[in-house]
Amino acid sequence: MDFEEILKQLRQNLLGLIVNQYGELKDEGEEAVNQFLDASKLKLKKWTELLALNKITLEEFEWLLNSQKDLFEMNALHKAGISKISLGQFKNKAIKTIVDVVCKILL
């Protein structure tokens, strides 16, 4: 398992999600994605390895990811006028994107 490749794919897909949803705020979104991935990198790697080794289920992996959702600091987007509801929906899409990317690479 090449975690750096997984991280690269996650970054690309999450940035794509930001551009699709908040295109005019790409820079703020990119900052939020980078902060989240930097803050979560060690845990993401550990959980991805556990999933790859069948030590945890996909449902457990998703639950663990949801526990990190609050680390997705999106203050810059909120200050730019994006509602907290919209940001919450984005965070849910981001978690789904992470699960999809990891599944695509691992399974």
Residue type, 81: G
- The DSSP 8-state label assigned to residue 56 in this structure reads S
Q: What is the pLDDT of residue 100?
A: 95
Residue 94 tokens, joined = 């981001």
Residues of the chain with pLDDT under 50: none
Q: What is the pLDDT of residue 35?
A: 85
Q: What is the pLDDT of residue 103?
A: 92
Mean pLDDT score of the chain = 88
pTM: 0.84
Please give the C-alpha separations between residue 13 and each of 20, 38, 53, 56, 73, in angstroms, as whole numbers.
10, 15, 24, 24, 17
